[in-house]
Structure 1
Amino acid sequence: MTSRIVPAISIAVNRPAAPGPVVVSVPHAGRIYPPEILAAARVHRSALERLEDRWCDRIAAGARDAGASVVAALWARAVADCNRGEGQMAPGEVAPTLRAQFAAPGRKERAGLGVVPTRLADCGPLWKQPIDRAALEWRLDRLHRPYHDALAGEIAAARARFGFAILVDLHSMPPIPQGQPGHGTRIVIGDRFGATAAESLVDLAMASASALGEPVQRNQPYAGGHVVRTHGRPGDGVHAIQIEIDRSLYLTAERLPDAERVARLARWFAALVGEAGQWRPDADALAQAAE
């Protein structure tokens, strides 16, 4: 792949006039498909769009006014999945010369949902050719690495100002099917089972989500992915949570945003950002961060 005709900007960073300690991440709502990506695909663009956290960036529309810096991917998840690590691919999904570096795939990678998505149910392979080194590096250099560099920069700035930072990684999910753990849950708050955020911050988020009157779960079935695992370090004063929102709460049957329901969730999310901006780590967490 070359970058000659690719749109230059793959991410957006929006900062408030008076930044608080909260950084919002929106890695999967991008809707830009560079021409190289469409040319490499063996499926229609509509199939690639199934990878998106469709329109969930609109839920974060008021986060900047509530004091958060917002980092959002503009390019689509089909280019690279910013919520996967660079080593998360299955050997069978890449060219033979790359297979040795992807020797221990997990369940999602084996399903084709690695750092480069390669398969979807009912679609088969997404790309005309296996992902080779040039294609992988192009995708990582143009989207994945700039995204995480931007997140790290905003988190570092917040931590420098306040002594700590809060990362809220925003996603949407399809309705959880009957028979699967968490069926009926509409919002999931993930902290990797206590590893990425202080308990009191998770409690705040759970209470805020519950006030919407929707079923809320913690860590089931989504405990948090690469973004919170990489950047969430409570011992260093960085507290990270992942939020998954059932798309049926804000999309129509045609997968378009319902203005009234989007506005309801946007008001809630802005309020959550405002509450989180007033939160402070407890004394034990502050002492641990200072060590």
Structure 2
Amino acid sequence: MFPRRMARLRKARIVGHCRDDGIIQASRPLPSDPPAGTSAATETLQYCATMTPRSPCKPAEHPRPVTVPSPPRTAPPLPLLGPDDPPPVTVLRPESDSPVLLLCDHASRAIPKALGTLGLDEANLCRHIAYDIGAAEVTRRLSERFGATAVLSGYSRLVIDPNRALNDPTAIPVVSDDVVIPGNRALDRAEEERRIDAIFRPYHAAVAAEVARRRERGQVPVLLSIHSFTPAMRGVARPWHVGILWDHDPRIPIPMIARLRADGRWCVGDNEPYSGRTTLGGTVESHATPAGLPNVLVEVRQDLIATPEGAALWATVLGDALEPILADPGLYDIKLFPRE
């Protein structure tokens, strides 16, 4: 287009519309254009302008730079366990070549220093809500008697309970035996994960590693889980001295119950005071039952094993009942017992 025509164009009022691509189209002759019928009759003017699509037909202003704020930086969560805290798991006799594997899910009442006391006084931290009184000592003595590996948890069940599924609301209890746990109230997911990573997973990893080690040696692991229970619950006395908990694998529980009852001194619970058939996601249910491994969970009444002497006696009682069962070669077989 000639310079003179361009000058007139700049002064002209353009009547038209804007296309989606920012092109202006004029739909009537410019005032200075030649009359219709000439070689320069009504023409459609296309002018490449900086326009916003479908905006009024005027040049757009130069866009201003937009500053997008960076998301706030959050410090990574501090590790739950410090250098002065005990380890999350203790493994006794890891070099043992015995197929027997002892477990103690509630061996300790320790709490990470970062969590203080969870808002509880010392009296409550010495109660059954914090750990299974006497169970660790019985486990240690059975480990010595059978020369077997034992895996013991390093922290209180109030921090996180390794004998629960992670989706169980009692895995990190807010209330235990009518006692409110202030340090467990309104936890966010980050704090839950911190406890899972520091305590729950290492314990179960240790159990899984010991099971795998025996399988690699060509052995069928036998899992014995040791717990303790209170003499009374909600004011109701519990008559049992010991309870044998099991699901549908009878290989250890049935002969063990028979031998303990034959002793004549003990009231023996068969799936009492708890039932092994109603629990899901516990340590035995996770590591033994699905794999068809022989297993049993033993509950001893806490007042009977609260002292070293009592723990020694019950390690002997349980050991005597277990010894002929563990000596039977027919025990060491993979066998699934589906839930009914």
Q: Which has the higher contact order (CA 8 A, sep 6+)?
A: 1
TM-score (norm 1): 0.75
Aligned to 2:21: none
What SS does structure 1 have at the residue aligned with 2:240?
Answer: coil
Aligned to 2:255: 204
User: CA separation in 2, counterparts of 1:5 and 1:178?
Assistant: 37
Aligned to 2:222: 166
Aligned to 1:24: 102
Tell me if the contact between 1:249 and 1:261 (Cα under 8 Å) persists in the aligned partners: yes
AA matched with 2:289:
R
User: CA separation in 2, counterparts of 1:49 and 1:267?
Assistant: 25
The 5-angstrom pairing of residues 1-291 of structure 1 reads 2-3=78-79, 5=82, 7=85, 9-15=87-93, 18-38=96-116, 41-50=118-127, 51=129, 52-65=131-144, 66-89=146-169, 114-127=170-183, 129-177=185-233, 183-192=238-247, 194=248, 197=249, 199-210=250-261, 211=263, 213-224=265-276, 225=279, 226-233=282-289, 236-251=291-306, 257=307, 259-272=308-321, 274-281=323-330, 286=334
Deviations 1:245-268 (A, max 9, x none): 1112122xxxxx2x3222111223
AA matched with 1:62:
R
User: CA separation in 1, counterparts of 2:184 and 2:292?
Assistant: 44
Shift of 1:286: 4.8
- Higher helix share goes to which structure? 1
User: CA separation in 2, counterparts of 1:128 and 1:15?
Assistant: 34
Tell me if the contact between 1:175 and 1:246 (Cα under 8 Å) persists in the aligned partners: yes
Tell me if the contact between 2:243 and 2:270 (Cα under 8 Å) persists in the aligned partners: yes
Shift of 1:220: 2.4
User: CA separation in 1, counterparts of 2:335 and 2:173?
Assistant: 41
User: CA separation in 2, counterparts of 1:18 and 1:151?
Assistant: 14
Unaligned runs of 5+ residues in structure 2 are 1-76
User: CA separation in 1, counterparts of 2:200 and 2:215?
Assistant: 23
Tell me if the contact between 2:245 and 2:297 (Cα under 8 Å) persists in the aligned partners: yes
User: CA separation in 1, counterparts of 2:297 and 2:152?
Assistant: 14
Aligned to 1:99: none
Larger Rg: 2
Greater displacement, 168-177 / 217-226: 217-226
Shift of 1:122: 4.2
Tell me if the contact between 1:165 and 1:239 (Cα under 8 Å) persists in the aligned partners: yes
CA RMSD after TM alignment: 2.8
Identity value in percent:
24
AA matched with 1:139:
R
Deviations 1:230-256 (A, max 9, x none): 12237x4412211111112122xxxxx
Unaligned runs of 5+ residues in structure 1 are 90-113, 252-256
The number of equivalent residue pairs is: 251
Shift of 1:214: 1.1
Shift of 1:177: 4.9
